[in-house]
Structure 1
Amino acid sequence: MDKSKILVVDDDAKLRDLLSRYLDQQGFIVETLPDARDIDRKLARNRPDLMVLDVMMPGEDGLAVVRRLRAQGEMIPVIMLTARGEDIDRIVGLEMGADDYLAKPFNPRELSARIQSVLRRHYAAPALTAHHDEDSLCVFGEFELHLGRRELTRKGKAISLTSAEYAVLAVLVTHPRRPLTREQLMEMALGKGNGESLDRSIDVHISRLRKAIDTGEGGPRYIQTVWGYGYVFVPDGQSGE
């Protein structure tokens, strides 16, 4: 099996060296950058499979990088490193389109686990119910979710989603009309059963998905809130919240 290529972008030279050595020992191919200036060149010439990106950097900071890349339709998986670990840092990173986040200081072993989890979500086949095989096509309104290709389209045009957003949508779509708690969604889609900011994190993913698929007026249609419980996917968009 080919080794996954990881690009670490952080202005802390000691941390770059530590992560490079540790992730290399874990079987990854690692390249590092001290800032964001050469990210575009790396993506074009020696594309990594995942990017570990520090939020606080001189020049273009990590949040600006993610926002710019997502606006360009670039969906490389990104794990953000936040200096303070406060909720607002994490939530803003997710809102910009990051796939996951990790607060400094952290154990490199945890970063390795996060990398493997995000890579599985992004590149592996989704977990399917007994009623859906890999070739399943789920249609709702103008949208088609191709589970085998891990692709969401609207009138034949692909819609960009992060690995986390796709995973959450796949769980919802394959469990139509079944209310799911935030914790259930985190565990089934992202493999996280608990942790800080659990509720707010899943709410951010839901918010971004709604912007992608609930484009009409009158509030959310397909992903509806079950007040005091969680969320439910309604294929025909008819039931009220």
Structure 2
Amino acid sequence: MRVLIADDDPVVREVVRRYLERDGLTVVEAADGPTAAKALAKHDLDLAVLDVMMPPPDGIELCRTVRAVDQDVAIILLTALGEEEDRVIGLSAGADDYLTKPFSPRELALRVAAVLRRIRQPAAGAQPVLRSGAIEVHPGARTARVDGVPVELTAREFDLLAFLLANQQRVFSRSELLAQVWGWNFGDQSTVTVHIKRLRAKLGAAHGIDTVWGHGYAWGRVTAKGAGA
């Protein structure tokens, strides 16, 4: 699978490239926004790691540009900015994940692997179709429809929707959703909050995601209290 590393720091690119190549990935490098934009247009990429602070267009602008035309490429943002508002801006732009510098290259490699593992899942197989009202999700084909009309979802948005539909009327805390959908036992829980918001916006009135205050989120009417906050 092919991954883009876009960062103006050559040391960061070199270290991350070595970790990802050890995992058997093909790595494309870019030192600035224009080069990254060309790589995104030229290569058939599975995932892009974009530095928020590189020469413009920066990572967030590139993320918005990609998401306007492509929901399939997974995106992880890197930045030296640590404030929650900055993280939320990046996630709201369509990023699947957000890592603050300085970071562990191995942690980044593990997060990349977790995203790509979902993408690698075979489309064939007798996986049951998930339905709720006007929403229909085909896990094998990784497609979603509302009233028969396809809905463009990012990899994480699709995973989150499929998980909630497969576990209707069960409450999950943000930390549990991070573990079940993202495959992490740690991380920024605002990632879940922003993905829930994006999913609700894309599904419109058809969504069945309920906020269970003090506990988390559930799909559909909750019949019993579930996970802790």
TM-score w.r.t. structure 2 length?
A: 0.87
1:215 pairs with one of 205, 220, 224: 205
2:200–2:209: 8 Å Cα contact kept in structure 1?
yes
**Residues 134 and 147 in structure 1, CA contact (< 8 A), matched pair in contact too:** no
Task: Report percent identity of matched pairs.
Answer: 38
Residue in structure 1 matching 2:138, options 146, 154, 158:
146
2:67 to 66, 70, 80: 70
Q: 1:21 to 1:178 in 2, by over 3 A?
A: closer
Does residue 1:232 correspond to 2:226, yes or no? no
Cα deviations across residues 188-239 of structure 1 (Å, max 9, x unaligned)?
Answer: 11112333x32x22111111111011337xxxx51011111111111xx899
Give me the whole-angstrom Cα distance separating, in 1, the residues matched to 2:133 and 2:11.
Answer: 51
Matches within 5 A, 1:21-100: 21-100=18-97
1:134 CA drift (Å): 4.2
Residue 180 of structure 1 aligns to a residue whose secondary structure is coil
Give the CA deviation at 1:149: 0.9
Contact 2:171 2:222 in 1 (8 A): no
- Structure 1 partner of 2:153: 161
User: In structure 1, what is the equivalent of residue 227 of structure 2?
Assistant: none
Report the Cα offset of residue 125 of structure 1: 5.7
Asked if 1:185 is matched to 2:172, the reply is no
The answer as to whether partners of 1:186 and 1:192 remain within 8 angstroms in 2 is yes
Structure 1: which amino acid aligns with 2:139? L
1:52 positional shift? 0.7
Superposition CA RMSD, Å: 2.3
- Matches of 1:9 and 1:81 in 2, distance apart? 9
Instruction: Provide the secondary structure at the position in 2 that maps to 1:215.
Output: helix
One-letter amino acid matched to 1:214: G
Taking the aligned partners of 1:40 and 1:142, their CA distance within structure 2 comes to 37
> 1:56 touches 1:82 (CA, 8 Å); kept in 2?
yes
Q: CA deviation at 1:185?
A: 1.5
Q: Name the counterpart of 2:4.
A: 7
Say if 1:169 and 1:209, in contact at 8 Å, map to a contact too. yes
Aligned pair in 2 of structure 1 residues 177, 149: CA closer, same or farther (>3 Å)? Answer: same
Instruction: Return closer, same or farther for 1:238/1:104 CA change in 2, 3 Å cut-off.
Output: closer
Contact 2:151 2:203 in 1 (8 A): no
- Deviation at residue 117 of structure 1 after TM alignment: 0.6
SS in 2 for 1:232: strand
Q: Which has the larger helix fraction?
A: 2
Structure 2: distance between partners of 1:222 and 1:82: 33
With over 3 angstroms needed to count, the CA separation of the structure-2 counterparts of 1:36 and 1:188, relative to structure 1, is same
Residues 39 and 88 of structure 1: is their aligned pair in 2 closer, same or farther, counting only changes over 3 Å? same
Q: Take 2:147 and 2:38, find their aligned partners in 1: how far apart are those partners?
A: 33
Aligned positions, number: 222
Is the Cα contact below 8 Å between 1:9 and 1:35 reproduced in 2?
yes
Gapped runs of 5+ residues in structure 1?
127-132
